Structure 1
Amino acid sequence: MSHIISAAQLRAQAATVLIAAGSSSEEAATVASNLVLANLSGHDSHGVGMLPRYVDAVLEGGLKPNSGVRVVLDTGSLLTLDGQRGYGQVVGEQAMALGIDRAQTHGSCIMTLSNAHHLGRIGHFAEMAVDQGLVSLHFVNVLSRPVVAPFGGADGRYGTNPCCIGVPLKGRDSFVLDFATSRAAQGKMRVAHNEGRYVEPGTLIDEHGRPTIDPGVVVVPQSNGLFGALLAFGEHKGYGLAVACELLGGALTGGGTWHQPTDPAVRAVVNGMLTILIDPAKLGTQATFEQEAVAFVDWLKAGPVAPGFDAVQIAGEPERATRAQRDVDGIAVDGQTWQEMVAAGRKVGVTLQD
């Protein structure tokens, strides 16, 4: 049975657990707000359901509360940053603030961030950039249990490796494209498993490499102790983009790529991210950019609407609509996820109120 909880209440509950796990009140507020924003946006996979894993990661030592981003190299338009295993929601925002400042000064910034704990919804960082009139591109790798099979492979070899692109639109809400390079995010499989739902065919293979619709194969160990795997979206094309995210977000950032046996007991999720920020105002094409970008979006929306759809949309619109609705109606947290949150609170001496 789902619990309907207001965003404000959910933020307060999450922050209470984070503080008990060692975070300052300021850090706890930042992380809790980010998690709840993901829920509000319709991405429950990156919302408060991650809290139990964060608590476990803190207790095992893989996540370091109150750690900030460290500048390794700063040449102005090039930044090399180390997240020092801090909360990704915190070090990610710190990194973006530095990158945005450099892009506004120099016209562009190429920034690498390594060794950050789970960054959460990457679209949040793109939203930070487009709010300042900047274009942003993000390529992310995931150092955790490998849950995605390579095209033509039959077991997990890498993470969900998200890619994100943000583009400001003059006088309009921005274009924010944010997606896992797997057919679905791992967190969405956790949510589906907790809710007792099956998923679409073509999303998963089981521990034997056979197609399945049971999300549990990538959430809990199977009878032989192994896990199944997610498949890449778009077959070889999504797989190719996932490899690019691993090479750019992992190898180029210095954070490392995945090439080792799995330890299911490790709860930390470590991300590397390559970010490219561009200021159209300094590129010399801003007037044309603003005009052509809006003209193209209008062209898309002026076409006929296909059966089964209400309108032609662009990336970012569904999230904004869901935010407005859930801000009023509250956020549904399934019973299993709520129990996992309550158990996480108990581990650090907190009793969550239903």
Structure 2
Amino acid sequence: MSKTLTPEKLQDLVAHVLAAAGSAQAEADKVAANLVLANLSGHDSHGVGMVPRYVDAVLEGGLKPNTGVRAGVDLGTMLALDGQRGYGQIVGEQAMRMGIERARRHGSCIVTVGNSHHLGRIGHFAEMAVEAGLVSLHFVNVLSRPVVAPFGGGDGRFGTNPCCIGIPLEGQPPFVLDFATSRVAQGKMRVAHNKGERVPEGYLIDAQGRPTTDPGVVVVPQGEGLFGALMTFGEHKGYGMAVACELLGGALTGGGTWHRPADTARTVLNGMLAVLIDPAKLGTRPAFEREAAAFVDWLRQAPAGQGHDRVRIAGEPEREARARRAREGIVLDDATWQEIVDAGRKVGWAVAG
């Protein structure tokens, strides 16, 4: 069984829960809109299914409603920001607006953000940059229960540590590459577990370090608080990228890295290094626009491979999903819906419907 809601109804419902948890209405509306956009984009792992965890994080004190960024260093071309454990959807947008303004003025800006609560879908921040005509690179670490095993290891030692790159393309939608350095995002395992699904081989190991297709090993304890772990993509290559994200998003930003035993806290903290570049000030803009368009066109001229209808570039699947889900609605499985209902109950608001 499942429940289908319009984006508008779902956003209103989520905003009510977040407001009941302590957010001012403007904050609740913005966080809800960001979460629903993730669902619309086909990334249910970063959508409204996060609400129960956010409510728990507020109640345990790790997530601070109505909090924004605080600038520690502002050199124009460099910004060091503290998220102060505010909602990442708020902190991330504030950081990007500051970085975009400075990159337009100076040609580039390096932005570090530490101590932010869960930033959500990092592609949203790249979309902000490309809309302003900027190239952006994002390296993010995750401070929460370690759910990803190092290459050659048998248990979780770090988070899903996403990397994202946004590149504007003249006269057409942008290239937005947004991926977890694990084979899949942790949230996708939560969604699969809630639906009672298995996952492909090569994604997971159980609490004893053995391969498994059961997503529950990284969602619910496997006895005595033990969990399995996700694998990195690309074996040692994805592992190397994950470590780079931990060092750049965590150590360099001052937000911290994970190097302690797991706990049961529901709080999820992120650090992010973002690099913003204005091609107009680099002096290569005409060649950039010409060569980027020529290469993308070249890719799209490739014949479709078996099982595919055509060649796509990063960002297209999300845009297609948005159009489809805006028409058809957003589907929530029964387990996810019940978790949202329960989260509303925890903060004294009865979810209707």
TM bin (shorter chain): over 0.9
Instruction: Give the match's secondary structure for 1:126.
Output: helix
Cα shift at 1:225: 2.4
Cα shift at 1:20: 0.3
Q: What's the counterpart of residue 21 of structure 1?
A: 21
2:96 aligned with 1:92: no
Q: Output the aligned Cα RMSD.
A: 0.4
Q: What's the counterpart of residue 103 of structure 1?
A: 103
- In 1, distance between residues paired with 2:56 and 2:34? 19
Q: What's the counterpart of residue 310 of structure 1?
A: 309
Cα shift at 1:224: 3.7
Instruction: Give the match's secondary structure for 1:149.
Output: coil
How many residues in Structure 1 have an aligned counterpart in Structure 2?
A: 353
2:345 aligned with 1:346: yes
- In 2, distance between residues paired with 1:174 and 1:303? 19
Q: Which amino acid aligns with 2:325?
A: R
Instruction: Give the match's secondary structure for 1:177.
Output: strand
- In 2, distance between residues paired with 1:15 and 1:4? 18
CA deviation vs aligned residue, 1:216-243 (integer Å, no higher than 9, x gap): 0000000242000000000000000000
Q: What's the counterpart of residue 298 of structure 1?
A: 297
- In 2, distance between residues paired with 1:19 and 1:303? 49
Q: Which amino acid aligns with 2:245?
A: C
Q: Which amino acid aligns with 1:249?
A: G
Q: What's the counterpart of residue 134 of structure 1?
A: 134
Paired residues for 1:95-244 under 5 Å: 95-244=95-244
Q: Which amino acid aligns with 1:343?
A: D
Q: Which amino acid aligns with 1:187?
A: G
CA deviation vs aligned residue, 1:291-345 (integer Å, no higher than 9, x gap): 0001000000101110110110000000000000000100000000000000000
- In 1, distance between residues paired with 2:342 and 2:234? 38
CA deviation vs aligned residue, 1:160-194 (integer Å, no higher than 9, x gap): 00000000000000000000000000000000000
Q: Which amino acid aligns with 1:306?
A: G
Q: What's the counterpart of residue 78 of structure 2?
A: 78
Instruction: Give the match's secondary structure for 1:164.
Output: strand
Q: What's the counterpart of residue 276 of structure 2?
A: 277
Q: What's the counterpart of residue 333 of structure 2?
A: 334
- In 1, distance between residues paired with 2:293 and 2:271? 32
- In 2, distance between residues paired with 1:302 and 1:205? 39
Q: What's the counterpart of residue 39 of structure 1?
A: 39
Instruction: Give the match's secondary structure for 2:165.
Output: strand
Instruction: Give the match's secondary structure for 1:220.
Output: coil
Instruction: Give the match's secondary structure for 1:4.
Output: strand
Q: Which amino acid aligns with 1:108?
A: S
Instruction: Give the match's secondary structure for 1:167.
Output: strand
Q: What's the counterpart of residue 249 of structure 2?
A: 249
- In 2, distance between residues paired with 1:71 and 1:45? 30
Cα shift at 1:148: 0.1
Q: Which amino acid aligns with 2:172?
A: R
- In 2, distance between residues paired with 1:323 and 1:303? 25
Instruction: Give the match's secondary structure for 1:223.
Output: coil
Q: What's the counterpart of residue 48 of structure 2?
A: 48
- In 1, distance between residues paired with 2:300 and 2:11? 36
Structure 1 stretches lacking a partner, 5+ long: none
Q: What's the counterpart of residue 59 of structure 1?
A: 59
* Moved beyond 3 Å, runs of 4+: none
Cα shift at 1:353: 1.2
- In 2, distance between residues paired with 1:288 and 1:263? 51
- In 2, distance between residues paired with 1:69 and 1:278? 22
Q: Which amino acid aligns with 2:220?
A: V
CA deviation vs aligned residue, 1:20-61 (integer Å, no higher than 9, x gap): 000000000110000000000000000000000000000000
Q: Which amino acid aligns with 1:345?
A: G
- In 2, distance between residues paired with 1:45 and 1:215? 13
TM-score, with normalisation over the residues of structure 1? Answer: 0.99
- In 2, distance between residues paired with 1:29 and 1:90? 11
